[in-house]
């Protein structure tokens, strides 16, 4: 990231970067990553369907994922791996329920796809045993497509939903610690 982009992000988005130009956070996050054909489909959708003038401050989500738990205090991926390994889960199945949105926040209106997944709920419950901080005590699995200007979400909620009832799976987990370090691992290797 160049210095001008970094200064803009720090000023307007209150992001903080370390000396390696990695975005830092208050907490760590564990995510199930979308990969392969589903990833290509999500990215094609956000690039062709979402009008650039509708995009809010938070932008579009190109690192397509479903957050398992944000807010863990640990920066050690092994703490996460140990709990996940004990679960015996080696694949996360996604059942897509359709496009919806959350209420507007600082980044805009999150346009998302609701997800049903027994494995995601189990992993969220297990990882929640670690010290963590959350503003969302009820876990609602979803894949964020991007953040829209408030009021613009209505046109996307009323389109023919290409995601409803779709199914796919992943075994790739990404742990992102407070220092911006991202570590991917495969559930099959635990």
Every domain of the chain and the residues it spans = 3-189
Other beta carbons less than 10 A from residue 85's beta carbon: 14
Query: In this predicted structure, what is the pLDDT of residue 143?
Result: 97
Question: Is residue 75 exposed (0-12), middle (13-18) or buried (19+ Cβ within 10 Å)?
Answer: middle
DSSP type of residue 140: -
Query: In this predicted structure, what is the pLDDT of residue 26?
Result: 84
Q: What is the pLDDT of residues 10-25, one digit of tens each?
A: 433 434 444 555 556 7
Q: Which CATH superfamily is domain 3-189 in?
A: Cyclic phosphodiesterase (3.90.1140.10)
- Beta pairing class for 172-176 and 182-186: antiparallel
Query: In this predicted structure, what is the pLDDT of residue 82?
Result: 97
How far apart CA 37 and CA 46 sit, in angstroms, is 15
**pTM confidence score:** 0.86
- Tokens of residue 189, six digits: 């290797």
How far apart CA 163 and CA 21 sit, in angstroms, is 35
**What phi and psi values does residue 48 have, to the nearest 5 degrees?**
-105, -25
Query: In this predicted structure, what is the pLDDT of residue 4?
Result: 47
When pLDDT is averaged across residues 174-184 and rounded to a whole number, the result is 92
When pLDDT is averaged across residues 151-180 and rounded to a whole number, the result is 92
Consecutive H or E run containing 179: none
């Amino acid at each position: 990231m160049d210095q001008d982009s970094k200064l803009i992000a720090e000023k307007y988005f209150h992001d903080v970067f370390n000396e390696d130009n990695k975005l830092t956070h208050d907490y760590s996050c564990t995510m199930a990553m979308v990969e392969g054909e589903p990833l290509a489909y999500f990215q094609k959708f956000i690039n062709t369907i979402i009008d650039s003038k509708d995009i809010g401050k938070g932008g579009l989500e190109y690192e397509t994922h479903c957050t398992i738990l944000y807010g863990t205090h640990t920066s050690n991926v092994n703490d996460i791996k140990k709990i996940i390994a004990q679960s015996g889960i080696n694949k996360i199945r996604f059942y897509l329920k359709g496009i919806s949105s959350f209420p507007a926040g600082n980044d805009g209106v999150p346009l998302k796809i609701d997800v049903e997944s027994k494995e995601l709920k189990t992993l969220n419950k297990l990882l929640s045993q670690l010290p963590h901080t959350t503003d969302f005590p009820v876990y609602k699995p979803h894949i964020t497509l991007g953040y829209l200007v408030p009021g613009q979400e209505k046109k996307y909620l009323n389109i023919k939903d290409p995601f409803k009832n779709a199914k796919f799976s992943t075994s790739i987990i990404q742990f992102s610690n407070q220092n911006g370090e991202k570590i991917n691992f495969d559930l099959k290797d635990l």
